[in-house]
Structure 1
Amino acid sequence: MNNHLQQHISERIRQSLPELSHPSLALDLWNILAEQHFQGFLPYFTVNHLCEKYHLTAKQLALVLLPISACYANPTISHFSVGAVVMGESGNLYFGANQEFCTTHIQQTIHAEQSAISHAWMRGERKLTDVTVNYTPCGHCRQFMNELNSAETLHIHLPHSQNNLLHHYLPDSFGPKDLAISCRLFDEHHNGLSYSTEDPVILAALNAANQAHAPYSQSYSGIAIQLQDHQIFCGSYAENAAFNPALPAMQVALNYLLLSGAETEMIQRVVMVEQPLNLSYRKMAEELLAYLADVPLEYVVL
C-alpha cells in the first residue's frame, strides 16, 4: 500500500501546511481542523473569520485550501492527487479529492470535483456557487457539474484562471434541459419510497434513496455505512443526463466517510436500499465493499 495512504488524515494535513504561504494561517487552519476531528469542510462563520483576519475573499481562501483538500485524496491507481473546494450558497466551504480503488473497475473512481460536490450535497447544501480545483476539470467532471441546479451560474476557479462560468468550459452543452428535466441535482425533493422498519441503519439508507437524483432511470438507491463507533454516513445516487458521469450511492457514502476524517477500517455494517426499475448498482456496490471491508452488503429491494 502507498505509504501516503497508511498515514492518518491528520498527518497528511500536517505535512501539507508548509505549502501554505502564510504560517499563521496554516496554524489557524490546523487548529480549526483538529478541533472538528479533521472533517473536510469549513462553516461559513469560520470562513468569514479567516477572510477578515487575513484580508482574503472566500474565493481566495478556497485557492489557499487546495493543498489541504488534496490530502484527502486516495490516488492508489494514478498516484496523482487532485484537490477541490466548493462553496455553497450558505457560505460554507467543502473539500473534495480524487478517490481511487485498486483491484476493482476503474469506473468506481471518484473525481475530485465529484467528491467535493457530493460531500456538500450529503451535508445538506442546496446550491453551489463556486468550484475551485487545482487542475482544469476534465470533460467527465464538466458534464457532472452540468447536472447541478446552479450550472448556469456556477463559477470555476483554477490557480491560473479564476471567475470563469462552467459553460466557458462546456460550450454547446447537453444536459437536463435537453431532456425536459426540471428537477436538478441539489434540488430538494422526495422520491416517495417507503419501507416498514425501526432499524436506524436501514432507515438512513431509505432516506438517502429518497434523496437520490435519478430523473432519467427512476432507479433510486441509497447507502448507509455504520462504523464501529455507531456513526452513520449516507450516500444517495446522483444520475447524469450523459449517464457515464453518474455517481453511485456507495461512492457518495464512502466519499462522505473519508471527507469526514473517518477510516474504512472502522466499517461495521453497510445497508443498500434500492428501487431497481431500469438498472441496479447492487453488484458494483458489493464489489467495491469487498475491496474495502470484510462485511456483507445488506440489500433491501423496493
Structure 2
Amino acid sequence: MKEKLLTALSCLPESLQSHVHPIISEPNFKGVINAENVDLLQLHSALETPELLLSLLPLAAAYSVAPISDFNVGAIARAGSGNLYFGANYEFTHQALFNSVHAEQAAINNAFSHHESAILDITVTDSPCGHCRQFMNELNCAPELSVNLKATGIKTLATLLPDSFGPIDLGIRESLLAAKPVNLTLQQPSESTLVQAALQAANDSYAPYSHCHAGIALKTTTGTVITGRYIENAAFNPSLSPLQSALINLNLAGFGLADITAMILVEKAETKMSHAQATQILVSEIGIENYQHVFAH
C-alpha cells in the first residue's frame, strides 16, 4: 500500500508533494489526515479547502481494490473535527456485485470507526451514484452536507437527492453519527480479546431499523486487531455489513485478505435478520478457516 500511495503522490500539485510525503510515510498511517496536518497543508499550498481536498483525491483512490470494474474511485470525508478520512471502492473477485463497497461508503465508515460526530462534506473523484446518495442521507448532518466534485463543483446533498427518504421518515431521531452505543453482553462469557473487540464493535454499530447490532473483529498475521461495525440505512439495501466495514478498515491499515488469521462475528440474538449466512459465504470464499459466530443479548 505504501508503494501505491507514493505513486499517487506524484499526481498531487508540486506545492503539496513534499509536505504530504512525511504524513503518508508514517508507519501507522491508515487513511486519516488529522486537522493539524490539514492546516499545515493549506498553509504550504495556499489552496482553499475544496481545492485541497480535490488535490488529495489520488491518495484516497490509491486504496481502491477494483478487480472487476478496473475503475478506481476515491472519496474524502471531512469531519467536524477537521480530520480527513479516506475511502475507496472495494470489490471481490468471483463474488456478487452487491458485496462491493463504494468509495463514499468507505470514507463514511472510516469516520464512523473513529467516532466522529459530524461530517461537513465529502469530496469524490466522480459523481456519487444513487446508492451512495442514499447512504449519505443516513448521516445526522445530511441536511447540511455538501458534495465536492471536480467536474461540477460543490453541491448540497439535498440538491443531488431531492424528495429524499431517510431516518426521520421511519421515526428515527438519532441518525448515523448521532446514535448512542447499545449495551449488549455475550450469551456465553468470554475473555478472548478478539471476542471482546467484536462485542465492542457491535455495541458501537448503527442498526435502528432491524436492531440487529453486529460487529466483527479480525486478527492479522502481525497480531493487529481490526474491527468493523454494521451501518444500517433507511432504504435497507445501501446498508454496510460488519464484514464490509472490517475489510475496508483492514485495507486502510495496509493489510490484504491473505493477512487474516482469525475472525469473530458478534451479533444480537433473536432479531428478524442475521449477518451470519452472508458472512459465512464470503468468509469461506476468502479462505478464512478460523471463524466464529457469537451471539449477544
Give the TM-score, by structure 1 length.
0.93
Q: Is it true that 1:229 corresponds to 2:190 in the alignment?
A: no
Match of 2:142 in 1: 151
Match of 1:207 in 2: 200
- Structure 2 counterpart of 1:21, which letter? P
Contact 2:262 2:288 in 1 (8 A): no
* Distance (Å, rounded) in 1 between the aligned partners of 2:279 and 2:290: 10
Contact 1:40 1:261 in 2 (8 A): no
Q: Is it true that 1:14 corresponds to 2:9 in the alignment?
A: no
**How does 1:95-110 map onto structure 2 within 5 Å?**
95-110=86-101
- Structure 1 counterpart of 2:7, which letter? Q
Post-superposition CA distance 1:217-236 (Å, at most 9, x none): 11111100111222111111
Match of 1:91 in 2: 82
* Distance (Å, rounded) in 2 between the aligned partners of 1:297 and 1:268: 9
Out of 26, 36, 55, which is 2:46 matched to?
55
Contact 1:156 1:163 in 2 (8 A): yes
Q: Is it true that 1:111 corresponds to 2:102 in the alignment?
A: yes
- CA shift at 1:56, angstroms? 1.9
Out of 59, 69, 73, which is 2:60 matched to?
69
Q: Is it true that 1:165 corresponds to 2:159 in the alignment?
A: no
Contact 2:5 2:24 in 1 (8 A): no
Match of 1:241 in 2: 234
Residues 1:16 and 1:190: Cα distance change in structure 2 (over 3 Å) = closer
Same amino acid, percent of matched pairs: 38
Out of 268, 272, 278, which is 1:284 matched to?
278
* Distance (Å, rounded) in 2 between the aligned partners of 1:108 and 1:183: 27
Q: Which runs of 5+ in 2 are unaligned?
A: none
Q: State how many pairs are aligned.
A: 293
Give the TM-score, by structure 2 length.
0.95
Which segments of structure 1 move beyond 6 Å, counting only runs of 4 or more?
none
Match of 1:269 in 2: 262
Greater mean alpha carbon deviation, residues 257-266 or residues 154-163: 257-266
Q: Which runs of 5+ in 1 are unaligned?
A: 1-8
Out of 25, 34, 45, which is 1:34 matched to?
25
SS of aligned partner of 2:30: coil
- CA shift at 1:37, angstroms? 4.0
Post-superposition CA distance 1:18-76 (Å, at most 9, x none): 32232x41232222111244421101111011111111233322111111110100001
SS of aligned partner of 1:136: coil
Match of 2:212 in 1: 219
Contact 1:201 1:271 in 2 (8 A): yes
What is the root-mean-square deviation in Å for CA atoms of aligned residues? 1.4
- Structure 2 counterpart of 1:155, which letter? S
* Distance (Å, rounded) in 1 between the aligned partners of 2:27 and 2:148: 26
SS of aligned partner of 2:144: coil
Match of 1:6 in 2: none
- CA shift at 1:260, angstroms? 2.0
